[in-house]
Structure 1
Amino acid sequence: MTYIIVPEYISCFLLALIGVYVFFDKKSSSLKNTTFQISLFFSLISIINNIISIYGIENAAHIPVIINVYLNSFYYFSVAVMTTMVSITTYATLFEGRYGEPRLKRAIGVSLSLFAVEVIIVLANLATGWLFYFDADGLYHRGPLNAIGIAYLAVAIFNIILFGALERRRTKKSFRLILYILPSSAAILGFLQYLFQDTILTGTIIAFSLLTLFIAGQQQRARVDALTELSNREAFFNDISRLCQRKAQYRIIIIGLKNFKQVNGQFGQRAGDALLYAVGSYLEHLDPRVSAYRISGVQFTLLVNKKMKPEEYETWFCALMERFCHPWKTDLCETELRAIFADIEFPQHASDVDEVIASLEYATRLAKEDPNCRPVRFTNRLKEQFERRNYIVARMDKALREDHFFLNIQPVYDIKHQRFTGGEVLLRLNDDSGRPISPGEFIPIAIETGLATKLGLMVMEKVCKFLQENRETDLGWLSINVSSQQDEFDDTVHHLEMLLEQYGIEPRRIKLEITEMVLLEDLERAHETMQELNQLGIGVYLDDFGTGYSNLVNVMMLPFECVKIDKGFIRGIASNPKSRGMLQTVVSGLRSMNVIALAEGVETEDQDNIVRELGIDRIQGYYYARPMAAEEFVWLMHERCQIQPKQ
């Protein structure tokens, strides 16, 4: 009898290629990887043995019967091993990350039981000929149970479909295709083997099954972080998308390591990587109800399913935070790792994936801003704050598109000239109902979201246009707040130059107010930029001097035209002699450097008298004038009268 074994040669070559890749690819030890490697090894051995067995059957006259018997017996045994290991590998793939599940243990138990039955039949065949036998002439004959291999395969396929269906909702999306492709393909090939028994497809069935598992594994590796071996950012997004679609209840915890650059600097990159691996390993084995992810360099997330009761969750969450109060030890170093924590509950605090991600980012930012590293729990109150923030962002976007921002100007009183000589431009915004939104609310959000630079450029153009439209009135100078970073500040300066030329505005009429923190990034570069502005005739004012970041050394190093002393400095001078003495020192120092001293927030007669006595040059505050509409400011400056403070 002649057999067609070309498919076996092809299958052997295919498995050999996969084997070479697996041999040189260093993977972590896991049930799925281990069973796959065992399956691959026995499949190659089985296919090679099958090819040799068929050669022996076709050349039985030249080969001792005992050798053919043992070759074919080993073939049936290895097929049983192949089928069993491929089944277990499939289960390990479907249950990845949940190897302690009772259902997985039952599935493996069923496979091993079937394997035991197959082995008993193979051993019994030596005496009974149930599977095959050789006659007196050495010719091969099929026994009554010869199709047991196909039957065993059919039962294995049925079990995979059964357990896969039971676990479908909990199976990772990238592995669900296994439930459709692997059993159906194996069933089709098995049926063809039954119809065409002269064409050997046993190895083809196993090879195709292993190829399916191999491809699924490679796809899954795209979802795994190479350093910590946790699921990665893409996997996290996919998993929460799946949970959101199901409206499942769950909690998300985000953990961020603080000052990790210092760890790398102190111990080296390898030690830092070892610490990240240690943290990842700890998080991965926290609880079977928790899935761990590494979503960025030093940020991890945990998905906690609804099986963990609220009171149990609180205890567990506290224990998690407590762990980060103790040192982390690896073979390379031992150190403490400070961490920030935030958590959110779905669907109580978010209704879809986008809201979940945005809420997490918001909670993480709040946690990072807390110097005490207190956890941020996303409560209903925090949700209201978050929704308010989102509304303001949307409102600012719309206002930029539709030109809904408007300007107020707060006049500045010049003591020497005894009149208002200029003013500070203040950006204003109303909500949809026309009620004002506090600048203290929308300006920080604009800075946080990157809108501050756009707003600054818009204000500059509005100011230049305003000055052009009121050329007939001497409006003095107008100061504009610049809240961008150093790089953006340089771009802002160049943009202002173009606007001044476009609208025909004298540079001396524009002043730029900037905080010291913007300049501290690169003092040398800041000095060059300010010199360029001075040469153009644009004065630079230091804003918020006295808020905790300012010092006179930086004032001496940079060519400021004016220093605005913060209202917090002014508020206590009437009742606190130390504040008054400190202010005297500051004013004297500014005067010695020929820098204008401007007092902000003067609201009472006592404050006014004191700043005058101390030699302040200019005053800004409610005691003289509140912020007013641009049209009102034009009228005020048009009068050119020597306005006296309000009594």
Structure 2
Amino acid sequence: MKYIIHYDIAAIFVVLAAMVHFLYKKTISTRQTRIFTLLILAAIVSNIADLISIYLIENPREVPLWLHFTVNEIYLITFNATAAVYYGYIIGVTRGRERISKWEMTRILLPISIDIVLVLSTPFTQAVFYFDSGKNYLHGRLFMVLYAFALFYVLASLVHTIRYRKTMTLLQNATVYFYTISSFGAVILQIYFSNLMVAQFAVAISVLLIYLSLENPSDYGDKILGVYNALAFHEVVSSYIEKDKDFRVAGIQIEGLRYVGEMLGVKNQQQVVKSIAAFFVQAAGSRRVFALTDTRFAIVEKKKALDWSGLIEEI
């Protein structure tokens, strides 16, 4: 069988573009950005493994059988993991800072756990796929179960979105609807046209739409001072508290700025504040400094990550 891989190749470029832009623009770590990082990694690994598996299937005698199994297992696991992480992302978006319930975690983890067990055991059971004596790739009796798990995540994401649509943005809602329609369409196409590889492209476009619907990284930065703002401070501190992590906060109040403004003008006052912020960044690092107000700054980090005594003495 000759596979049509043009959509797979296009999908790699779409996902890579989203990944590079996301990593370049990413600021603080939030629940949404952490889950999206998992999603984009699963999507790119799945896409690459899919292309490699297609090459191996079309050239079965060039590599040992164990490599055939390994690559196909990576592809099948990461493909359904993409759907599972996507479902987790949708739940995370609607929950905000609330903890995800145990029942929701069960719905996220149980199907993909069964999926992983089925795929990893398939070299012994031939339940999902197998190879005949000529190393030809064949579907096992439980292969369609993987499609069922993927569609479960798609439908669960849709139902959850409809239920909590008022807590999501218009683009987030539209992304879920697009993902649902494109996923069903891709599965149906690949069932009837097994050589047409379109599922990864549908995932790639959904990943791109999800990225566009993420919170704007610039919302967490003070563009004038080049440090994080009060909203970022709240997110970081709340995350540390939620995870029960030890951390320290150094608060700095700048005195005399009003006098500088009165004597030298507002423009020079702002320049002084920028110089102070730059000094804090040099001393503590750009990812640790937060401007809370025009005269108040905070430095936040784990206890062992900074030499706090030396930092305070330098300030």
Q: Partners in 2 of 1:69 and 1:58 — Cα distance?
A: 14
1:188 aligns with 2:185: yes
1:52 aligns with 2:52: yes
Contact 2:126 2:140 survives alignment (8 Å): yes
The equivalent of 1:66 in structure 2 is 66
Contact 1:186 1:209 survives alignment (8 Å): no
Q: CA deviation at 1:226?
A: 2.9
Please tell me whether Structure 1 or Structure 2 has the larger radius of gyration of its CA atoms.
1
The equivalent of 1:162 in structure 2 is 159
- Which letter maps to 1:224? D
Q: Partners in 1 of 2:122 and 2:256 — Cα distance?
A: 65
Contact 2:57 2:137 survives alignment (8 Å): yes
Say if 1:140 and 1:182 are closer, same or farther in 2 by CA, change over 3 A.
closer
Matches within 5 A, 1:378-457: none
Q: Going by fraction, where is helix more abundant, 1 or 2?
A: 2
Q: What secondary structure does 1:53 align onto?
A: helix
Contact 1:168 1:176 survives alignment (8 Å): yes
Q: CA deviation at 1:260?
A: 9.8
Q: Partners in 2 of 1:260 and 1:167 — Cα distance?
A: 49
Q: Partners in 2 of 1:89 and 1:100 — Cα distance?
A: 13
Number of residue-to-residue matches in the alignment: 256
- Which letter maps to 2:55? Y
Q: Partners in 1 of 2:177 and 2:46 — Cα distance?
A: 26
Q: Partners in 2 of 1:101 and 1:151 — Cα distance?
A: 28
The equivalent of 1:407 in structure 2 is none
TM-score (norm 2): 0.70
Q: Partners in 2 of 1:23 and 1:144 — Cα distance?
A: 41
Contact 1:90 1:160 survives alignment (8 Å): yes
Ranges in structure 2 where 5+ consecutive residues have no aligned partner? 223-228, 233-254, 262-268, 281-287, 300-310
The equivalent of 1:79 in structure 2 is 79
Q: CA deviation at 1:191?
A: 2.4
Q: Partners in 2 of 1:34 and 1:123 — Cα distance?
A: 26
> Among 260, 268, 271, which residue is 2:273 paired with?
268
Say if 1:24 and 1:162 are closer, same or farther in 2 by CA, change over 3 A.
same
Q: CA deviation at 1:210?
A: 0.6
Q: What secondary structure does 1:138 align onto?
A: coil
- Which letter maps to 2:231? L
Matches within 5 A, 1:477-496: none
Q: What is the percentage of aligned positions where both structures have the same residue?
A: 19
Q: What secondary structure does 1:200 align onto?
A: coil
Tell me: higher relative CO, structure 1 or 2? Use CA pairs within 8 A at least 6 residues apart.
2
Q: Partners in 2 of 1:20 and 1:154 — Cα distance?
A: 29
1:147 aligns with 2:148: no
> Among 89, 105, 109, which residue is 2:106 paired with?
109
Q: CA deviation at 1:6?
A: 1.4
- Which letter maps to 1:73? E
Deviations 1:319-354 (A, max 9, x none): xxxxxxxx9663499xxxxxxxxxxxxxxxxxxxxx
Q: Partners in 2 of 1:260 and 1:141 — Cα distance?
A: 76
Q: Partners in 2 of 1:52 and 1:225 — Cα distance?
A: 40
Deviations 1:516-560 (A, max 9, x none): xxxxxxxxxxxxxxxxxxxxxxxxxxxxxxxxxxxxxxxxxxxxx
Q: Partners in 2 of 1:111 and 1:90 — Cα distance?
A: 11
Q: Partners in 1 of 2:99 and 2:82 — Cα distance?
A: 24
Q: Partners in 1 of 2:92 and 2:186 — Cα distance?
A: 23
Matches within 5 A, 1:130-529: 130-217=127-214, 220-221=215-216, 224=219, 226-227=221-222, 228=229, 230=231, 262=258, 265=269, 268-269=273-274, 271=276, 277=290, 279=292, 330-331=298-299
Question: Could you tell which deviates more after superposition, 43-52 or 85-94?
Answer: 85-94
Contact 2:179 2:206 survives alignment (8 Å): yes
- Which letter maps to 1:4? I
Q: What secondary structure does 1:268 align onto?
A: helix
Q: What secondary structure does 1:133 align onto?
A: strand
Deviations 1:481-526 (A, max 9, x none): xxxxxxxxxxxxxxxxxxxxxxxxxxxxxxxxxxxxxxxxxxxxxx
Say if 1:230 and 1:194 are closer, same or farther in 2 by CA, change over 3 A.
farther
Q: Partners in 2 of 1:222 and 1:136 — Cα distance?
A: 54
Q: What secondary structure does 2:231 align onto?
A: coil
Contact 2:130 2:137 survives alignment (8 Å): yes
Q: Partners in 2 of 1:111 and 1:194 — Cα distance?
A: 25
Contact 1:150 1:194 survives alignment (8 Å): no
Ranges in structure 1 where 5+ consecutive residues have no aligned partner? 232-258, 280-296, 299-326, 334-647
Q: CA deviation at 1:199?
A: 1.0
Deviations 1:368-427 (A, max 9, x none): xxxxxxxxxxxxxxxxxxxxxxxxxxxxxxxxxxxxxxxxxxxxxxxxxxxxxxxxxxxx
Structure 1 outlier segments of 4+, above 6 Å = 272-276
The equivalent of 1:27 in structure 2 is 27
Q: CA deviation at 1:186?
A: 2.2
Q: CA deviation at 1:129?
A: 0.9
Question: Could you tell which deviates more after superposition, 113-122 or 179-188?
Answer: 179-188
Q: What secondary structure does 1:230 align onto?
A: helix
Deviations 1:105-132 (A, max 9, x none): 6434311111111111112212111111
Q: What secondary structure does 1:29 align onto?
A: coil
Contact 2:28 2:220 survives alignment (8 Å): no
Say if 1:223 and 1:125 are closer, same or farther in 2 by CA, change over 3 A.
same
Q: What secondary structure does 2:130 align onto?
A: strand
Say if 1:161 and 1:261 are closer, same or farther in 2 by CA, change over 3 A.
farther
Deviations 1:60-102 (A, max 9, x none): 123222221222122112213222222222333343xx23244
The equivalent of 1:5 in structure 2 is 5
Q: CA deviation at 1:190?
A: 2.5
Q: Partners in 1 of 2:230 and 2:116 — Cα distance?
A: 38
Say if 1:101 and 1:69 are closer, same or farther in 2 by CA, change over 3 A.
closer
Q: Partners in 1 of 2:221 and 2:297 — Cα distance?
A: 21
Contact 1:80 1:119 survives alignment (8 Å): no
Q: Partners in 1 of 2:209 and 2:151 — Cα distance?
A: 18
TM-score (norm 1): 0.36
Q: CA deviation at 1:22?
A: 2.0
